[in-house]
Copies of this chain bind each other. A is one copy, B any other.
């Protein structure tokens, strides 16, 4: 039986080490500091861990997939920096620290975000040139750029901004969540699988698994926004309510939202059942995501 807490601690350390190595060593210090500040501000490293865990499920280990894992975190961090800007969510606290633009100014934060997104593809191209003779890096770039683009994360962010102050249906909330948060989580699982050269049938099941935990993750996020304190969460809470934002718990009530998350968790486990591999790691991570308290 895998000790998931220990696994998370170990992988987080590996990812943090690798992210340090990704950071550019030349270029203007101001923007590099801003990039590093946001990268090193902590966070759960959930996306890279999902990629590593999926790769491991197919017997492909840390050092072989670490570039892919880093690219995912670079893209996630860029999205946080841009989301926090005053023209977007206007957030001043993230992961318990002042947000990037609060420290470095809006222009530098904007450019630091751009640079992290760009760096993700530089890292993936270098990964691709190392894995000679296979097109898996290109498939990963295809998957990730799509997940991060207009039909994925960015599209979700647009819909989310448009939805502020409106009452949405549960289907609309599901769509926004699947795009804004779900698509990068899904890409994390799929990119890990692509790196490990998992077959098409496995990719399909992993896709189902990832979509379910993506929505569950968002529901739990919304619940924590209501139920936690800023000290516990490292970011302002009650923000959704203050913006009259439609969320799963706002629409369903906290209890039904919690039940929905748990049922998605069960569906994620079902998707794993049909894989030939041992899936303790992925089921353990799903459990961790749904039953987390911060």
Contact = CB atoms under 8 A, between A and B. Distances in A.
Nearest to A23: B150
A8 interface: no
A267 to B, nearest CB: 25
Nearest to A159: B28
B154 A126 contact: no
Contact of A138 (B129, B150, B159): B129
Contacts of A138: 125, 128-129, 137-138
Contact of A24 (B78, B106, B149): B149
Complex A-B, nearest 7 residue pairs according to Cβ-Cβ distance, in ascending order: A27-B150, A122-B145, A125-B141, A125-B142, A27-B155, A87-B106, A128-B138
A200 interface: no
Interface string A89-114: 00000000000000000111011011
A146 interface: yes
Nearest to A101: B87
Contacts of A122: 141-142, 145-146, 149
Interface stretch (A29-37, A42-50, A217-225): A29-37
B88 A154 contact: no
Contacts of A141: 121-122, 124-125, 128, 141
A33 B151 CA distance: 14
Chain A contact residues, majority secondary structure? helix
A145 B118 contact: yes
Given A111-B157, A145-B122, A162 B129 contact: no
Given A87-B110, A110-B82, A135 B145 contact: no
28 contacts: A24-B150, A27-B150, A27-B151, A27-B155, A28-B155, A28-B158, A28-B162, A30-B162, A78-B114, A82-B110, A87-B87, A88-B107, A107-B161, A111-B157, A111-B158, A113-B114, A115-B150, A115-B154, A117-B118, A118-B145, A118-B148, A119-B145, A122-B146, A125-B138, A125-B139, A128-B138, A128-B141, A141-B141
